[in-house]
Amino acid sequence: MKKKRTRVSVINSSFNEFITSHMLKSCLRRLHESHISKKDIKVYQVPGAYEIAPVLSKAIKSKKFDAFVCIACIIKGETPHYKHVSDHVNTAVSKLAIKYEVVVANAIITCNNLKEAIERAGCKMGNKGSQAAEAVIKTLKVLDSIK
């Protein structure tokens, strides 16, 4: 019996690209290590975290993918704007995953400062991009066992 291909959409925010680029590379590396081919991974670049939800929604509705990874880095500034963006994006992503019953790994990090962001993108706290890819892989296995 032929093994089913796993198709993954990665939606990556270009804002704070010096952080998200590391998370994206780590995510893709982990997916490839799990034998998901490059041709079965589609990366969509969006300008910022706020734009993730509409792209995720369209990608889900396309029915071309088995799972999704959302990557962004939101760093606290001098106003509460970061909190509004973070709350909106995380809520929207969660609602889409529940509504459409799809696997969505959330690598949207919200940090107090640049140091925290760097740590979560590959230093002391691991790489959230790689961790999101791992979450997709493990969750898909669980779902396959339920069918």
State the catalytic residues: 81
Cα(90)–Cα(42) distance, integer angstroms: 21
State phi, psi for 35 to the nearest 5 degrees: 70, 30
Sheet-wide strand order for 67-75: 41-46, 8-13, 67-75, 103-111
Q: Where are the alpha helices (DSSP H) in 34-80?
A: 52-62
Among the listed residues 60, 53, 120, 57, the one whose alpha carbon sits nearest the alpha carbon of residue 89: 53
Tell me the two tokens of residue 98: 């529940």
Tell me the two tokens of residue 10: 């990665």
Specify whether the CB–CB gap between 8 and 69 falls below 8 A. Answer: yes
For β-strands 41-46 and 103-111, DSSP reports them as unpaired
